[in-house]
């Protein structure tokens, strides 16, 4: 690697430590409250995003499947049975985009900065809205990424 490239990488690394974005707690452009008095999120988490559909290769729609047609039959099985996608909850809804060399790079508008049961429920609602709009039937999680820490199991029990 040239000295110029190494210098640029070093500068970018330093900048990532110096620039720390503040987490969003409400979508800035919706012009309405994020929650009502009960603390529940109002409306959709992904407003204006319709259910993603197959439109084929000629589609100019950036939010359309161009090659994945879930109902297309290939060798006797539907494509959705060959390609069983899932959404990884941690990586999609809990991870902040941080790496060993910098600060978090993403903040979700529904996050309130707590590790509360209400926040865990809100994340679940966002997750299920997301996978429904993608048309994905499965999701996965690991460890304790779906529930907050508590002193006992009774504390973290979901009452949905």
d(CA 23, CA 111): 8
Among 63, 23, 26, 61, which Cα is nearest to 45's?
A: 26
**Residue pair 105/97 in contact by the 8 Å Cβ criterion:** yes
The two three-digit tokens of residue 114, written as one number: 């707590």
Q: Are 121 and 40 in contact (CB under 8 A)?
A: no
Return d(Cα 18, Cα 35) in angstroms, integer: 32
Nearest to 147 by CA among 125, 115, 106: 115
Which of 33, 78, 91, 142 is catalytic? The answer is: 142
Active site residue 91: no
In eight-state DSSP terms, residue 54 is E
Active-site residue numbers?
142
């Amino acid at each position: 690697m040239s000295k110029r490239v190494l210098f640029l990488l070093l500068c970018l690394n330093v900048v990532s430590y110096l620039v720390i974005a503040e987490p969003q707690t409400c979508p800035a452009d919706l012009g309405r409250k994020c929650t009502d008095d009960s603390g529940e999120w109002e409306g959709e988490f992904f407003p204006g995003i319709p259910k993603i559909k197959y439109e084929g290769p000629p589609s100019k729609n950036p939010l359309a499947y161009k090659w994945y047609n879930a109902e297309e039959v290939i060798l006797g099985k539907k494509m959705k049975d060959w390609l069983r996608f899932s959404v990884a909850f941690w990586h999609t809804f809990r991870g902040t985009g941080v790496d060993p060399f910098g600060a978090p790079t993403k903040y979700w508008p529904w996050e309130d900065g707590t590790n509360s049961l209400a926040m865990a429920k809100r994340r679940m609602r966002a997750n299920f809205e997301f996978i429904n709009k993608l048309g994905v039937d499965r999701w996965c999680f690991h460890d304790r990424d779906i529930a907050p820490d508590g002193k006992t199991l009774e504390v973290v029990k979901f009452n949905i």
